[in-house]
Chain A
């Protein structure tokens, strides 16, 4: 038990110490997106699938935001820099914004 506790505390302290602030911000954003998605899923289980298009739009918007944030995190992580020699963090962020715009157009159309 104490091993698990020490492992967790090591994890947290190294996360706090070694992770850049920008990645922590992305992580925070992803947690927020994940919670929104979970709330909607619980709601659809309780209230039923009508109107199904609105549910899909709302749920897909959270899934897409989560996936795009994860991509941004991978591409801007300094430890992965060797895998993306041609992708600067600015380019990664521009891709992130462009994809989000497309997603939100689709979601707004589908929301009803």
Chain B
């Protein structure tokens, strides 16, 4: 087992040169290649992290996969106006791309077309009607949103989800600027998480005739408006939804966010997008179960089967990928379950202390098996927002006692043993006295009379 742990560690070290675990091939779909210059900083950031960025406009044909092999690892859809997929692509092929492990970033805008709406619906994300924009007359940016109050300033300390695995708060230096369309992430979908939402005062409305008085309420407003949502599919492919293509642009990256009556501060967009792309393209928060060990207490090897009430030790080795290398994973909430239809034991694993040489997080516990025989599963089912889902299942047999493994005498039954013995001894004494105690004559004499 030690040797296999070492081998897996070596194997992981070999793939570690690529920054993204999925791979570097990245396809970017643009409405028009003229827009390339809008996102120069984004391309620079991606290429600095070893991505091969392919820019492509939606009017020319492209294939996502060939012979059932993905041709790209990551897909960025920056073409909100797209009326139809490029030749060779379809909604089915994009969903298949995710099912095959590819990661996607989808960015919308008020001109979002039906193609991307339907694609987002596949992932339980519903964008608001066409030409609506998130508006906010309190939190708009003084420069970018001066006219229409549509470029809103979002404070990450209060309006960003506190998931360090996705976008840690300390990595975002300033408020995030957003100008785009609202979407609604279905809260009943547990794979989908909004990570940036709109301020309380904002609402989603058509931004074309703002002078006219409104005759109905907005369909969505306040914190119900998701600005950025992420999904991790069950196969751990990651998808990010942004309501704004502009928040990725050079203009927004370098802009200073300034609410009315406040001094401008550098926008956190660039860092926010960097962390978001790192997460989406599996550059971080990716977990791997390297090995599972279990054995009886005092032994080294896993037995062919256990016996009920055995004391045993279970260990799971988990590594976390970030910054191009595998690191030991740290957590205090990894739980082990012993399941035979129902969980019989559920126990939190203790992490062994890490030292400088650690490459793996080792989570271990010692427990007594239940007084129940059968085929059990040792399951670690660890699913946390932003982290790769872990579902490690080890099947073991638990046998009952053999006939000679029971205790010979049960202390609780000692009165019964004593009673049975005393009946025997009593019989002997009684017989002895009856036969030789000088009583027989009286009995016989009585009978003779």
In the complex, the answer to whether B424 meets A47 with C-beta atoms within 8 Å is: no
Count of chain A residues with Cβ under 8 Å from any Cβ of B? Answer: 38
B447 cross-chain contacts in A, Cβ below 8 A: 78, 81, 89
- Give complex CA distance A23, B440 in Å: 10
Pick the contact of B420: A50, A51, A108 (CB < 8 A). A108
Q: Check if B410 sits within 8 Å of A54, measured CB to CB.
A: yes
- Chain B CB within 8 A of A17 CB: no
Q: Which residues of B contact A69 (CB under 8 A)?
A: 430
Question: Interface code B114-133, partner A: CB below 8 Å = 1, 0 otherwise?
Answer: 00000000000000000000
Check A25–B433 contact: CB distance below 8 A: yes
Binary CB contact string for chain A from 62 to 97 against chain B (1 if under 8 A, 0 otherwise): 100100010000001010010000000100010001
Is B419 in contact with A62, judged by CB distance below 8 angstroms? yes
In the docked arrangement, what's the CA distance between A20 and B418, Å?
Answer: 31
Question: A15 near B: Cβ within 8 Å?
Answer: no
Whether the pair B430, A51 counts as a contact (CB closer than 8 A) is no
A40 and B416 contacting across the interface, CB-CB below 8 Å: yes
A107 and B418 CA atoms in complex are apart in Å by: 12
A99–B442 alpha-carbon span in the complex (Å):
25
Q: Tell me, in angstroms, the Cα distance from A93 to B422 when the chains sit together.
A: 20
Interface centre among A22, A50, A51, A111 (most CB of B within 10 A): A22
User: A47 touching B434 by the CB < 8 A rule?
Assistant: no
A111 and B420 within 8 A (CB): yes
Contact partners of A47 in chain B: CB under 8 A: 412
B374 at the interface (CB under 8 A from A): no
- Chain B residue contacts of A54, Cβ below 8 A: 410, 413, 416-417
Q: Which residues of B contact A50 (CB under 8 A)?
A: 412
Is B5 on the interface with A (CB-CB < 8 A)? Answer: no
On chain B, the residues within 8 Å of A100 by CB distance are: 427
Measured between alpha carbons, how far is A36 from B424 in the docked complex, in Å?
A: 12
Interface residues of B in 390-449 (CB under 8 A from A): 410, 412-413, 415-420, 422-424, 426-427, 430-431, 433-435, 437, 439-440, 442-444, 446-447, 449
Q: A43 and B423: CB pair below 8 A?
A: no
> What 0/1 readout, one digit per residue, does chain A (13-40) give for beta carbons within 8 Å of chain B?
0000000111101100100110011011
Chain B hits for A43, CB < 8 A: 415
Tell whether A58 pairs with B434 under 8 Å between CB atoms, given A21-B442, A25-B439, A33-B426: no
Contact between A29 and B430, CB atoms less than 8 A apart? yes
Show the binding face of A for B, using Cβ within 8 Å.
20-23, 25-26, 29, 32-33, 36-37, 39-40, 43, 47, 50-51, 54-55, 57-59, 61-62, 65, 69, 76, 78, 81, 89, 93, 97, 100, 104, 107-108, 111-112
In addition to A29-B430, A36-B419, A107-B423, 17 A-B residue pairs with Cβ atoms within 8 Å of each other are: A20-B443, A21-B439, A21-B443, A22-B442, A25-B433, A50-B412, A51-B410, A55-B416, A57-B420, A58-B417, A62-B423, A65-B427, A89-B440, A89-B443, A89-B444, A93-B434, A97-B431
Q: Which 10 A-B pairs have the closest CB atoms?
A: A58-B416, A54-B413, A58-B419, A54-B416, A78-B446, A22-B443, A22-B439, A61-B423, A29-B430, A21-B439
Q: What are 22 A-B pairs with beta-carbon distances under 8 A?
A: A22-B440, A22-B442, A26-B430, A36-B423, A37-B419, A39-B415, A39-B419, A51-B412, A54-B417, A58-B415, A58-B416, A58-B420, A62-B419, A62-B423, A93-B431, A93-B435, A97-B431, A100-B427, A104-B423, A104-B427, A111-B420, A112-B410
